[in-house]
Amino acid sequence: MNTEIGIKACEEKMAALLAERVILTGKQQEKQELAERNLALLNALMGKAYNIALVGFMGAGKSTVSHYLKEVLALPEKETDAMIVESEGMAITEIFEKHGEPYFRELESKTVISLQDSAQAIISCGGGLVVKEENVVNLKKSSRIVLLTATPETTLERVKDSTERPILNGHMNVEYIAELMEKRREKYQNAADITIATDHKEVDEICAELIQKLAIV
């Protein structure tokens, strides 16, 4: 979409789409129909049926956004962590304990490769997945990459009660989160097609922004 007229038409369509984001309060069938319309429109505006890959630091809201988009766009949802847990038959913490982080990172890379032929889905990626360059290259083959961000303070607030993230166990404080976030920042930014800050926003607001931005990149 690169002419001025094109952008205006696109914006009008997206305004109509966003006005309908009461979608989740509708009846099941209406929800399905609306979601299909939303998806058709988004595809038309993006020009191709891409996967939507959600990336970002732990606690950025990837799972929440992924679950919501699944409803709004009637798309299948694939979570790399859940796929790994299922294939290994153990929790992420257990994989780290028994086999170590490098083994887990190998599994992540294999999971990304297995998703390459996925036609159109929401792919929610583990927070460290795009740190490895080859994963970004493979993701980009079939996905638009959406980076979700949050400040270290917001992140801590969202993750502090969980013991399921081995990277943060024993380091549950703002300083550690800020430091690791900073180390990864460039990788996240380089991977991203679009970026959305999630602090102090509701999930429907984040998704509306996401759809709008995806439609005009």
Give residues 79-108 in contact with ligand S3P (rule: CB under 6 A): 81, 92
Residue ranges in 49-68 that form contacts with ligand S3P under rule CB under 6 A: 58, 62
Quick one: 39 or 128, whose CB is closer to ligand S3P? 128
Nearest to 112 by CA among 93, 89, 129, 91: 129
Q: Which helix H or strand E contains 190, and what residues bound it?
A: helix 174-191
CB of 193 to ligand S3P, least distance (A): 19
Q: According to the binding rule CB under 6 A, does residue 123 interact with ligand S3P?
A: no
Q: Is 161 exposed, middle or buried (0-12, 13-18, 19+ CB in 10 A)?
A: exposed
User: In the complex, what is the shortest distance from the CB of residue 198 to ligand S3P, in angstroms, rounded to a whole number?
Assistant: 13
Q: Is 167 in the site for ligand S3P (CB under 6 A)?
A: yes
d(CA 174, CA 183): 14
Q: CB 118 → ligand S3P: shortest distance, Å?
A: 18
Closest distance to ligand S3P from the beta carbon of 33 (Å)? 31
Give the nearer residue to ligand S3P in terms of CB position, either 35 or 92. 92
Per DSSP, the residues of 89-100 read TS-HHHHHHHH-
Only one of the segments 11-19, 46-54, 125-133, 170-178 lies at the binding site for ligand S3P (rule: CB under 6 A); that segment is 125-133
CA 47 remoteness from chain centre? 20
Binding status of residue 152 toward ligand S3P by CB under 6 A: no
Segment contacting ligand S3P by CB under 6 A, of 29-37, 120-128, 144-152, 190-198: 120-128
Q: Which stretches of the chain are DSSP H helices?
A: 4-19, 28-46, 62-73, 80-88, 92-99, 101-114, 133-140, 152-159, 174-191, 203-216
3-state secondary structure of 141: coil
Cα 125 from Cα 83, distance rounded (Å): 10
Shortest Cβ 159–ligand S3P spacing (Å):
7
- Considering only residues 31 to 50 of the shown chain, the ones binding ligand S3P according to CB under 6 A are none
